Amino acid sequence: MPFYPVNLQITKRLCVVIGGGAVALRKIRALLDAEGRVRVISPIIAAELTILVDEGKIEWLQRGYVEGDLKGAFLAFAATNDKDVQLRIKKEAAKTSVILNSADDPGGSDFHVPAHFRRGKMLISISTGGGSPTLAKKIREQLEKEIGPEYESVVDLLALIRVRLLDGEDEASGHADLLRRLLQMGIVDLLVKADWFELQMLLLRELPAEIDAVALVRQFLQKHDTLKH
């Protein structure tokens, strides 16, 4: 069954996780990273989840699942070890049009959570459609080595340039070509090497005259103060 690739905006949206073990913990951490509003339903929960409850980061209903628990949810995870409960959750999700991930039934789930990692605003995900999570993990680990933490600032700089271009008077059709040209001319390597002089020279040559490249680099470095040292 083919899956449609999509990044979901879940900020402040209710995400219900039924279950309180290790699987639930992994799902909840990812949901919090995306600023989802998390409600956990389980008689008992892992110690790490108790800490999140105490810190007010998640809501905990200390009981088992009952029908109606998915009301108002944007998405849900069924992560219990009871097949009957899993099936009942799946039936309610189908009835209420809540998209569901069932830990014990990848093929019957509405969505999968791919192996992924973040570099600031950049999200890199790898999916095998549930065929081999082990392979997806291996590829993720390889990419994490190649795409290091410095790429968070790479994304921020390119986003800042794009905003300046959109604010300018140039034709929008040429923006993509300019950004591709900057990438081809090594803007990523210059940033990774913290070669601010050559980076500034590159932007002075390539950016439209109405964009102050010096001020742009200064603004970028003020936000990423640690890069200057």
pLDDT for 107:
83
User: Where do the H-state alpha helices sit in the chain?
Assistant: 22-33, 47-54, 83-96, 133-146, 151-167, 175-184, 187-192, 196-206, 213-223
Q: What is the dihedral of CA 41, 4, 131, 40, to 10 degrees?
A: -10
CA distance 141 to 115: 9
pLDDT for 199:
92
Q: Is the pLDDT of residue 227 over 60?
A: no
CA distance 135 to 179: 33
Q: What is the pLDDT of residues 150-198, one digit of tens each?
A: 888 889 998 999 888 887 655 555 788 888 999 999 998 998 888 999 9
4 compared with 86, residue with greater pLDDT: 86
pLDDT band at 143 (very low <50, low <70, confident <90, very high): very high
Q: Answer yes or no: are the C-beta atoms of 32 and 57 closer than 8 Å.
A: yes
Q: What is the pLDDT of residues 50-94, one digit of tens each?
A: 999 999 999 999 999 999 999 999 999 999 999 999 999 999 999
pLDDT band at 113 (very low <50, low <70, confident <90, very high): confident
3-state secondary structure of 126: strand
CA distance 42 to 66: 11
Q: What is the pLDDT of residues 22-41, one digit of tens each?
A: 999 999 999 999 999 999 99
Q: Answer yes or no: are the C-beta atoms of 143 and 122 closer than 8 Å.
A: no
pLDDT band at 2 (very low <50, low <70, confident <90, very high): confident
pLDDT for 37:
98
Q: What's the rounded mean pLDDT across residues 213-229?
A: 78
Q: What's the rounded mean pLDDT across residues 94-120?
A: 91
Long-range contacts of 143-146, Cβ-Cβ distance < 8 Å, separation of 24 or more: 143/117, 144/117
pLDDT for 67:
97
Please give the C-alpha separations between residue 97 and each of 25, 70, 93, 169, 197, in angstroms, as whole numbers: 24, 10, 6, 45, 54
What does the mean pLDDT of the chain come to? 90
pLDDT for 136:
92
Cβ burial, residue 166 (10 Å; 0-12/13-18/19+): exposed
* Amino acid, single-letter form, for residue 8: L
